[in-house]
């Protein structure tokens, strides 16, 4: 599926019916790759909080599984449909906007894989065979669109990744990279002259605040202090923050803290009370309440389910040689 350039856009302007329109600076997205995993695989529906003009240091591979609409990568604007498979490089601004009637919701709009530069560089150093991926990583600085055939082949791999455990995740990751490297005629999206400018993005008020939150998540974060950091009154900051993130300040921070708590729960090294305080909550009852609100179960049950899932994967792996022996 090759998408033609449907409009001329640059980092700060686009054209709308011949009229010059200013584009806002992209918002920073804080990507939490689990501590005991090499990359993050997830899915989301529509509308969703990350559906906005945003960037992040991590590489991203996104496959649209439902809806149609317009997508924006750097200075590129195009149309998308199910099967749209795009890889974006580090700090490259992007956004997919679906044609969904106001008030309607879509349970799953896309599958997403995210990994950081350090991980892939270390992998290439350990496995020289992965050097073939370097050309793809370089091309992703402008965004890369793959064929519809490649998108169709990628879906079962990415879908299995959602629930895969242990070494199976790595096998699937390598299978996906191999598929992309061998894909016929991938298309660069942003213009050759386009360059992502994370230093410039970071200067914006909201990204300064989001970066501060990410670096100080385990500390006490007061909205009054963040408003002061942004140079705004508390009421103005509250409106500004919600406009950029889609959720109120407290809800945003709680969500990040619960995600961090899930990583610590999976590691199994700390008890729940210690995790509560380590991620920034100041009392256990509030931690349990927020965890239940976001995960629909208490942290103890969530940890037990994860341990059961991991044990099941290990048992399946151990059983494979025996099954093959009697095959």
Q: What CATH superfamily classification does 204-304 receive? A: Homeodomain-like (1.10.10.60)
Predicted local confidence at residue 311, as pLDDT: 66
Predicted local confidence at residue 3, as pLDDT: 37
Rounded Cα gap, residues 86 and 147, in angstroms = 9
Predicted local confidence at residue 309, as pLDDT: 67
Predicted local confidence at residue 315, as pLDDT: 56
pLDDT in tens, the chain (327 residues): 333 333 333 333 333 333 333 456 888 888 888 777 899 999 999 988 778 889 999 999 999 999 999 999 998 999 999 999 999 999 999 999 999 998 899 999 999 999 999 999 999 999 999 999 999 999 999 999 999 999 999 999 999 999 998 899 999 999 999 999 999 888 999 988 888 877 777 667 888 888 889 888 888 899 999 998 888 899 999 988 888 887 899 998 998 898 888 878 877 778 999 999 999 998 999 999 999 988 888 998 888 877 776 666 555 545 444 333 333
How many degrees, rounded to 5, is the angle at CA 222 between CA 217 and CA 225? 110
Adjacency order of strands within the sheet including 76-80: 27-28, 54-55, 94-98, 69-73, 76-80
Contact (CB, 8 A) for 9 and 78: no
In CATH, the number for domain 13-188 is 2.60.120.10
- Main-chain phi, psi angles of 189, to 5 degrees: -95, -60
Contact (CB, 8 A) for 92 and 190: yes
Rounded Cα gap, residues 220 and 153, in angstroms = 46
Residue spans per domain, the chain: 13-188, 204-304
Nearest to 24 by CA among 9, 42, 43, 6: 9
Predicted local confidence at residue 307, as pLDDT: 75
Q: Is 40 helix (H, G, I), strand (E, B) or coil?
A: strand
Q: How far is CA 323 from the centre of its chain?
A: 37
Contact (CB, 8 A) for 252 and 241: yes
pTM over 0.75: no
């Amino acid at each position: 599926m090759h998408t033609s350039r449907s409009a001329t856009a640059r980092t700060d302007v686009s054209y709308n019916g011949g009229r010059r329109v200013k584009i806002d600076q992209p918002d920073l997205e804080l990507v939490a790759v689990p501590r005991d995993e090499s990359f993050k695989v997830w899915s989301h529906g529509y509308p969703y909080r990350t559906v906005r003009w945003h960037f992040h240091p991590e590489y991203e591979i996104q496959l649209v599984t439902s809806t149609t609409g317009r997508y924006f990568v750097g200075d590129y604007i195009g149309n998308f449909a199910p099967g749209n498979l795009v890889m974006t490089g580090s700090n490259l601004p992007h956004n997919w906007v679906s044609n969904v009637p106001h008030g309607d919701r879509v349970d799953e709009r896309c599958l997403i894989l995210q990994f950081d530069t350090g991980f892939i560089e270390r992998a290439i150093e350990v496995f020289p065979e992965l050097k073939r991926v370097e050309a793809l990583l370089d091309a992703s600085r402008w965004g890369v669109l793959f064929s519809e055939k490649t998108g169709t082949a990628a879906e079962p791999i990415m879908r299995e990744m959602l629930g895969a455990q242990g070494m199976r995740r790595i096998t699937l990751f390598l299978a996906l990279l191999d598929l992309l490297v061998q894909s016929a005629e991938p298309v660069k999206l942003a213009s050759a002259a386009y360059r992502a400018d994370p230093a410039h993005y970071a200067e914006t008020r909201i990204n300064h605040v989001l970066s501060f939150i990410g670096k100080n998540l385990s500390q006490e974060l007061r909205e009054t202090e963040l408003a002061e950091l942004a140079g705004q009154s508390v009421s103005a900051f509250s409106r500004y923050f919600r406009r950029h993130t889609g959720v109120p300040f407290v809800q945003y921070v709680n969500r990040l803290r619960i995600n961090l708590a899930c990583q610590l729960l999976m590691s199994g090294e700390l008890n729940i009370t210690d995790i509560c305080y380590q991620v920034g909550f100041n009392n256990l009852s509030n931690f349990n309440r927020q965890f239940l609100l976001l995960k629909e179960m208490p942290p103890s049950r969530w940890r037990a389910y994860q341990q059961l899932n991991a044990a099941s994967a290990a048992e399946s792996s151990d059983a494979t040689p025996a099954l093959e022996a009697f095959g």
